[in-house]
Structure 1
């Protein structure tokens, strides 16, 4: 009867015929979304470049020392 490629072509044609009115709107919406995403990514990248890394003052603790052992010492 029909092979897989013929069924795929028929399906694409049916979708194009039934959704012909919505395709321009969908393409426009996808374009707007892509532009917004690109602008936001660019803004985030620029913000990361402008901000200096934050340094938080504190004391260094060795990895093998647990809080319980530190409290028991006199």
Structure 2
């Protein structure tokens, strides 16, 4: 009976030490989610920047067209 208790306690201590060295999957998922979020924000910023450039070009072309039609 003593051997069983000693064996179980040693197994529990071994599992406790192994749990400290095991990679946490939740932390990995959080890092992946954070990286994905940053990528989406960066792409969104780039798209907005491109859209504003296009809008400026269209506005400029529209004003230029109105001036040429008035002549």
Q: TM-score, normalised by structure 1?
A: 0.44
Larger radius of gyration: 2
Higher helix share: 2
